[in-house]
């Protein structure tokens, strides 16, 4: 068992927000999904106050060793989430972490207060780092703006508050320190790296949203460096992610100071990736891999 902000988790592998649709997976796999759920906690995709349609297509671009997405956070909005999604997510056999994002302090405050009031929700992840939506980027890239946001909403949260950082900033550790100093219970990183692709047939940007976010193996070593930098500066727990596709990748992130590891893009290739990576990690830890012994020293 792992204690993460008071949540008791079976293993350190969770999902990255927006990369595993548990409701659709339940429809596809039935109760078999619940019997062998791939993650030790489930992180919802980002919800916003009002419903969002998301960005116009195309929304994906396959990059060497990764992908660029410009999904644009389509979601039912807060009320739709509470009425439609939450009852279904509450049936999952693991703790639920609800990811929220707002474009003003007031919007975030409403989201955090409403979600934190629900018993089904074990913790809140605050997305301040999505490169697809202009507002989140600015708050999460600047330590002072982020500090002001966390200061305003932390007292309303009633649940552990995880701040999901953006990698698209000059000094990610400075932003993490700002979140910690205003009462964040944990930080998570990395979100996607701002990227774009051109239409091979001409005519400008391929993605309907213009730019997007790069994820997958291509960002793995960027994530490792950013997690290590943050771990040196904060003492709150870290959920680390970015290109994790095997137990050894998760082990590396734990080795530089993460408490939990999230699997994102790999879920699209293999919906059972969470279970596989958790098992691979366990074998490595039992065998006492070089990384594990570094961690212990």
Ligand X SMILES: Cc1cc2nc3c(=O)[nH]c(=O)nc-3n(C[C@H](O)[C@H](O)[C@H](O)COP(=O)(O)O)c2cc1C
Provide the 10 A C-beta neighbour count for residue 120. 15
CA-based nearest residue to 230, from 287, 291, 164:
164
Is the distance from CB of 208 to CB of 58 less than 8 angstroms? Answer: yes
- CB of 73: closest distance to ligand X in angstroms? 5
- CB of 13: closest distance to ligand X in angstroms? 11
- The bridge status of strand 66-69 relative to strand 123-127 is unpaired
Q: Which is nearer to ligand X, 221 or 293 (CB)?
A: 221
Which residue number is nearest to ligand X in terms of Cβ?
Answer: 18
Q: Which is nearer to ligand X, 30 or 57 (CB)?
A: 57
Q: Which is nearer to ligand X, 56 or 290 (CB)?
A: 56
- CB of 260: closest distance to ligand X in angstroms? 13
Q: Which is nearer to ligand X, 190 or 238 (CB)?
A: 190
Q: Catalytic: 130?
A: yes
Is the distance from CB of 252 to CB of 246 less than 8 angstroms? Answer: no
Name every residue whose Cβ is closer than 8 Å to that of residue 46 and which is 6 or more positions away in sequence.
Answer: 17, 18, 73, 75, 99, 100, 101, 127, 130
* Contact residues for ligand X, defined by CB under 6 A: 16-19, 45-46, 69, 71, 73, 99, 127, 130, 164, 190-192, 215-216, 219, 241-244, 263-265
H or E element at residue 7: strand 7-9
- CB of 30: closest distance to ligand X in angstroms? 24
Active site residues: 130
């Amino acid at each position: 068992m792992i204690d993460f902000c008071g949540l008791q988790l079976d293993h350190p592998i969770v999902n990255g927000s927006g990369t595993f649709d548990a409701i659709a997976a339940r429809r596809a796999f039935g109760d078999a999904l619940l019997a062998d759920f791939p993650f030790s906690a489930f992180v919802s995709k980002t919800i916003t106050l009002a419903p969002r349609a998301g960005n116009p297509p195309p929304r994906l671009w396959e990059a060497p060793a990764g992908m660029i997405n410009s999904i644009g956070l389509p979601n039912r909005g807060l009320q739709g989430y509470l009425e439609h999604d939450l009852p279904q997510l509450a049936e999952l056999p693991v703790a639920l972490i609800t990811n929220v994002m707002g474009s003003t302090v007031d919007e975030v405050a409403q989201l955090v207060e409403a979600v934190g009031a629900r018993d089904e929700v074990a913790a809140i992840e605050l997305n301040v780092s999505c490169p697809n939506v202009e507002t989140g980027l600015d708050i999460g890239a600047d330590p002072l703006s982020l500090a002001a946001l966390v200061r305003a909403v932390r007292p309303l949260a009633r649940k552990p508050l995880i701040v999901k950082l953006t990698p698209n900033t000059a000094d990610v550790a400075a932003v993490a320190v700002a979140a910690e100093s205003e009462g964040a219970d944990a930080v998570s990183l990395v979100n996607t790296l701002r990227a774009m692709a051109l239409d091979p047939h001409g005519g400008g940007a391929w993605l309907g949203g213009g730019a997007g976010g790069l994820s997958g193996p291509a960002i793995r070593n960027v994530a490792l460096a950013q997690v290590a930098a943050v771990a040196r500066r904060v003492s709150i727990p870290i959920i680390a992610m970015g290109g994790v596709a095997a137990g050894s990748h998760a082990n590396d992130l734990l080795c530089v100071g993460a408490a939990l590891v999230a699997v994102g893009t790999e879920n699209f290739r293999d919906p059972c990736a969470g279970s596989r990576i958790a098992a691979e990690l366990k074998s490595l830890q039992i065998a006492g891999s070089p990384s594990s012994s570094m961690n212990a020293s």
